Structure 1
Amino acid sequence: MQDHIKEHWDVIVIGGGQAGLSAGHYLRSKGVDFLILDASKEIGEVWEKRWDSLVLFTPRQFDGLPGYPFPGEPSTFPNKNEMAAYLKDYARKFSLPVLSNTDVERITKISKRFVLDAGTRKFYCSKVIVAAGNSLPRIPSFSSYINFDIKQIHSSQYKNIADLPEGDVLIVGAATSGVQLALEISRSHRTFIAGKVSGKIPDLLFKLSRFYWWFIHNVLTIQTPMGRKIRKKVLTSGAPLIKESEKDLNASGAIRLPRIEGVKDGLPLLQDGRTIEVASIVWCTGFKPDFSWIQIPDLRLDEIGWPIAPRGISNINGLYFIGNHFQFGLTSSLVGGVGRDAKFVVDTLYESKI
């Protein structure tokens, strides 16, 4: 990549995943001077590190980024490695300037210029688009009191069943990742899953493929009463199931349990007062936002910790966000939906005449 010796760009995008690349596509089309910084060694690495059997829960026809449909049979579901390869191809196809191995540790603002600290380097720009994950595994604090001989991992650390010892497995959390892992792990281990399933997009909508996407993309947004109601649930309890169902979970043989609410005698304590003894626990409890590295005092965050940035536009002049959960709609953090938010943000940048 050229221009590595430059220090100032009009726009810097932080994050080289689907959100950052979508932003890059639109910035390139506007002729903007920009750079994408990504902490990974290469594009797609984040997907490659996820569990081995992971497949997207939306079919290929809804998994493409702006300007480049996802290859393959439209009605089939790509796996994580196909997703990683697609992102690499996307960056090459549109000649996007991605600087990998560059972890932005701090953002500050001096006058009208942003300063990005990344190891020994500093980058300067007029506008910043934050398109990184910005989240940490959410594991309850009481987990530290669970017996040390019970193995505990977060879903983001799980690769395959070889990661788990022999014996019973407790999956905590019944949103998408929890249900997917329960279906896999229950084939080889007696599996318990604690928590309430966070709802499901109706199967009829899913079977009516195009209508299903239209519904979750255009109806479940912050502009509709239904969308605003769903948004609260998504941000606190996780997104509703789409591809898998509660029926699939029940058929898997996984044993349903109420929520885990603490620890008693070193064992997970259920909401009904029982304890459960297992060999391992997989925390499918999602992620919590972490924007502490954006050290701009006036940045407004909500009670959960997400930036208050309607349509990605924050209260800090020149600071934008893409890819946050339900930023505009249910599809805002999905591969096939993030492009809408990217276009809106970049159009806003263009209108502001960078």
Structure 2
Amino acid sequence: MDRVAVAVVGAGQAGLSAGYHLQRRGLDFVMFDAESGPGGAWRHRWESLRMETVNGIFDLPGFPRPPQNPEEPSRTAVPQYFADYERALGLPILRPVRVRQVQREGSGFRISTDRGDWSAEAIINATGTWDNPVRPHYPGRFGGRQLHTRDYVSADEFAGQRVAVVGGGISAIQLLEEISRNAETFWYTRREPVFREDGFEPEVAGRETIAKVVADVEAGRPTGSVVSYTGLIWTPYALAARDRGALHRRPMFTALEPEGVREADGSFTPVDTVLWATGFKASLSHLDPLGLRTPEGGIRLIGTQVADEPRVHLIGFGPSQSTVGANRAGRAAVGALARALVSR
């Protein structure tokens, strides 16, 4: 069984940031990535998501991004940038390696993977959310196609169809606007969507949002979606969807039926496809043997450190889910662990 001081699980933005700082401090570490190549979840974004429409990508530490074509698909541009970064730094990334579970063993941890077991004194978890899509259960059996945001490729495949789009977040509105260009769409949310009518200042709103998320993770509460903290913003694609009449929200349907959905008022709407744009939760099941969750279902953090297990740090989680937050979290986690490992 191979041994290292620190094991990093995940090689997206947060994991690469941690790798950079671990390398600079001269710590012995390994990185596990379940993907077959660089790019993390960006490898799977839908074809039409261009660099000009993504919510902002910050440079990885020590490696500025080159000028990019705003029309280039994010699913190719970001993985290429990550690949160049990995190559320049020579990070010790093993892939594809899926971490099955992490258990305490002696003063450290045993990490069981699909390519053997490892031993580490500390864990930096950077697995993100892509592998844990949220798909609510509704009674009944639907005879058409159902897919989640993570399965979406292009609006072209829905041409001429009747499509139910479920979800009240950023991705739901992006996909609703796109699909409504050549299909008949029906928008369903559990709650009435709230669009901000005040002036939106990203820096101010960002600080306010982070403060709210920090309060949740420090209390051990599960965190919500970005929109649950910020409300919806009148972005160009939201305005386009509104102008096209696609932002007519319906209350959640009560059941799925072979040919469509049963509406909240008891009426029936035939649809060909149901698209669940219902978001993701943190992918942390491999850490379940450590018993980190609170009775409320969250994981209590102090900074990036799990409050009840200081040898485990979560980055790209909670307040550090943004790309700039992931960078900062990687640096903070490595700094804390370096001090802890040296003092032992």
TM-score normalized by the length of structure 1: 0.82
The answer for the alignment partner of 2:175 in structure 1 is: 181
Which residue does the alignment assign to 1:209? none
2:225 equivalent to 1:234: yes
The SS at the match of 1:341 is helix
**Residue 204 of structure 2: aligned partner:** 215
Maintained 8 Å contact 2:293/2:299:
yes
Tell whether 2:242 aligns with 1:253. no
Report the more deviating stretch, 73-82 or 285-294. 73-82
Are 2:334 and 1:339 equivalent residues in the alignment? no
Q: What is the Cα deviation at residue 76 of structure 1?
A: 8.6
From 112, 116, 125, the counterpart of 1:121? 116
For 1:44-92, what per-residue CA distance to the aligned partner results, in whole angstroms no more than 9, with x for missing partners? 15322221111355576x5212222332269999723111111111222
Match of residue 140 from structure 1: 136
SS of residue matched to 1:182: helix
Q: Say which of 31, 34, 46 aligns to 2:29.
A: 34
8 A contact 1:258–1:272 mirrored in 2: no
Map 1:1-354 → 2, pairs under 5 A: 7-44=2-39, 46-55=41-50, 57=53, 63-72=58-67, 79-134=74-129, 135-142=131-138, 145-148=140-143, 150-164=144-158, 166-195=160-189, 196-197=192-193, 199-200=195-196, 205=201, 212=202, 214-222=203-211, 234=225, 237=228, 240-241=231-232, 243-244=235-236, 246-254=238-246, 256-263=248-255, 265-266=257-258, 267-301=260-294, 303=296, 305-314=297-306, 315-324=308-317, 327-328=318-319, 332-354=320-342
Alpha-carbon separation, structure 2, partners of 1:10 and 1:201: 50
Runs of 5+ unmatched residues, structure 2: none
Please list every run of 5 or more consecutive structure 1 residues that lacks an aligned counterpart in the other structure.
Answer: 1-5, 206-211
1:202 shift after superposition: 5.7
Q: How many residues align?
A: 331
> How far is the alpha carbon of 1:248 from its aligned partner?
2.9
Cα distance in 2, alignment partners of residues 76 and 239 from structure 1:
27
Aligned letter for 1:157? Answer: D
| % same residue | 25
Question: For residues 117-176 of structure 1, what are the alpha-carbon distances to aligned partners after superposition, in whole Å with 9 as ceiling and x for unaligned?
Answer: 112400110000110025522111116x2322x211001001113443742111111211
Alignment RMSD (CA, Å): 3.1
Partner AA of 1:121 in structure 2: G
**How far off its partner does 1:297 sit?**
4.3
